[in-house]
Structure 1
Amino acid sequence: MVVSDHRSEGANLSGRRVVLTGASRGLGEALAHAFSRAGAQVALVARSAPDLERVSAALPGDALALAGDVTDADFNHRVAGEVVAAWGGLDVWIANAGVAPTVGGPLETTPEQWRQVLDVNLTGAFLGARAAAAHLGPGGRLIFTGSVLGERPRAGLAAYSASKAGMVATAKALALDLAAAGVTVNVVAPGWFDTPLTEGWMRNPALSERITGHTALRRWGDPAELTGAYLFLASEASSFVTGSVLTVDGGYLLV
């Protein structure tokens, strides 16, 4: 069997034009640095313009900072349009923006809290994919940030778990919709990582011990250990991977 040389390029993303939502902190900030170091041009998207400018200034490669609301369909289309205008096209859209889980049972979770989590985590991801689909061509990539909580829900996290489980179904449907265009659609499902979204759990000794006790590697993940999954799915190395969920959880779903 002869394997094409380009498969060995792995995470060489030179010239790839990437939109990254939720880019102002935590996992998003780590991804921005990883993609920029891999040679990509990165458009950073989040609500806070000052935070985006801070991240953008620290990157080694070309970057755009585009502040706005991912739940606004028009904003998503503006992001895609500005990237195409600036760099001549769009290759990868990473729907990473999300809000922290709202902890509470059905009586404690208000309708407003439920809608906010679903709007940002699920609807925002779909609207980004919708905007990207108008510009992505053969070799294009859509990557969603899911969660192990979409597969193994915890008490009090119904809204968050529903948003992430719905994201998997959405990604699989979009993988079918966009296959003819040569665009792949996949989900990265992180376990428990040390990020601002999980700070409350990590800093609580009882909660942290409960989480690590259900993780085969018996520790929290570092965001740097998660970026490789995204680089793989954005690269030529993943050209035959679509409709998949890549779980990076230290074995959380095994225990």
Structure 2
Amino acid sequence: MTDTTDAQNPGRTDSAQMTAVYPELAGRAAVVTGAARGMGAAFAEGLATRGVNVVGADINDEQMNATAAEINTSLAAQSLADTPGRVVGARVDVTDVADHEALAQIALKEFGRIDFWINNAGIFPFAPVDEISPEQISAVLDVNVEGVLFGAQAAARHMEPGGAIVNMSSVSALRIRRGRGAYCTSKAAVAHLTESLAVELGDKGIRVNSIAPGYIDTEMTRWVQEDPAALKHALDVVPLHRLGSPEEVFGPLLFLLSDSARYVTGHSIAVDGGSRHV
């Protein structure tokens, strides 16, 4: 991968196509939540490009269906070496246990199996600690923590041994960010929940890991690039001095789902340009 950082555009991300190939993934099936845009959409497209069939789910089902159609059209127009997978759009409220089971049933109906489940959906609230409302802390824990738990439960009910679950934590699980007390708390909980799930679901032969992104160029962190002071701070605390791209998060995800990681479980991989050390 080539680093595209330059002096004229210091916050530029590297969006070069990932070249890793795991041929064993073709024909398998995945569920990805929060897949209508951002990293979730990148995950769905990247997996489908490699022959994985995907149920992409989001609370915004209209946008999710549009994203699925766009990915399928794009893949059909490409000259790929292998047959691409198919993306099916679905609606999910990740705070609803029944919605997760419905997702599982869609995957089973469409593809006959569930091999991977990526708990990507999340919210990113802001408030100083003395202004965090009961509604905010409840919402962020419901979406970011319960959504992960319910997704993992649904996955475990239907996965065969060898299945893999990947949760989205954050570098904020390790570093305090002012105004993000509720968010940081939720992501720390996701990191610890991942370890608990790995221990207990290991009995079923299911691996569970998490990815902890730092400053990644998505809609969720658009505020960083729109605020010169925030962008300068972000680049100062990232040793690589640039923002990351969704493609750079997809690479570790692909590894964690692959057979190359078949003895890796209960871990969190930081994809943060080294910012957790600063």
TM-score bucket of the superposed structures, by smaller chain: over 0.9
Instruction: Identify which of 94, 98, 107 aligns with 1:83.
Output: 107
CA deviation string 1:43-77 (max 9, x = no partner): 00101122111211122331211112011000101
Q: Which residue of structure 1 lines up, in the alignment, with residue 222 of structure 2?
A: 199
Q: Determine if contact 1:9/1:237 at 8 Å carries over to the other structure.
A: no
For 1:135 and 1:125, locate their aligned partners in 2 and report how far apart those are by CA, in whole Å: 16
Check conservation: 1:140, 1:182, Cα contact below 8 A: yes
Q: Deviations over 1:1-45 (max 9, x none)?
A: xxxxxxx96365201100000000111111111111111000001
Answer yes or no: is 1:153 the counterpart of 2:176: yes
Amino acid corresponding to residue 105 of structure 1 in structure 2: P
2:234 is the counterpart of 1:211: yes
Q: Is the 8 A contact 2:28 2:113 kept in 1?
A: no
Q: 2:122 aligns with which of 98, 101, 125?
A: 98
Q: In the TM superposition, what is the alpha-carbon distance from 1:115 to its structure 2 partner? A: 0.8
Structure 1: which 5+ residue stretches go unaligned? 1-7
- Counterpart contact for 1:49–1:66, Cα < 8 Å: yes
Q: Which amino acid aligns with 2:112?
A: G
Distance in 2 (alpha carbons) for counterparts of 1:133 and 1:200: 36
1:106 deviates by 2.3
| 1: CA distance, partners of 2:202 / 2:265 | 8
Structure 2: how far apart are the matches of 1:241 and 1:56?
30
Q: What stretches of structure 2 of length at least 5 have no aligned partner?
A: 1-19, 76-84
- The corresponding residue for 1:120 is 143
4+ runs deviating over 4 angstroms: none
AA aligned to 2:174 is E
1:5 alignment partner in structure 2: none
Letter in 2 for 1:36: A
Indicate if the aligned counterparts of 1:9 and 1:236 stay in contact, CA closer than 8 A.
no
> Which position in structure 1 is the counterpart of 2:51?
39
Residue 64 (structure 1) aligned to one of 67, 70, 88: 88
Distance 2:253 2:163 in 1: 14
Partner AA of 2:118 in structure 1: I
2:165 is the counterpart of 1:142: yes
Equivalent pair of 1:11/1:231 in contact (CA under 8 Å): no
Provide TM-score, normalisation by structure 1.
0.94
TM-score of the pair, normalised by structure 2: 0.86
Is the 8 Å Cα contact of residues 13 and 235 (structure 1) preserved in structure 2?
A: yes
Please give the alpha-carbon distance, in whole angstroms, between the structure 2 residues aligned to 1:166 and 1:48: 25
Judged with a 3 Å threshold, the aligned counterparts in structure 2 of structure 1 residues 103 and 9 are, in CA distance, closer, same or farther, namely closer
| Distance in 1, Cα, partners of 2:235 & 2:96 | 37
Q: Kindly tell me the number of residue pairs found equivalent between the two proteins.
A: 247
Query: Equivalent residue of 1:226, what SS?
Result: helix
Identity in percent: 36
Match of 1:20? 32
Residues in 2 aligned to 1:166 and 1:83: alpha-carbon distance in whole angstroms: 28
Determine if contact 1:11/1:232 at 8 Å carries over to the other structure.
no
SS of the aligned residue for 1:247 comes to: strand
Contact 2:44 2:87 in 1 (8 A): no
Give, in angstroms, the shift of residue 127 of structure 1: 0.5
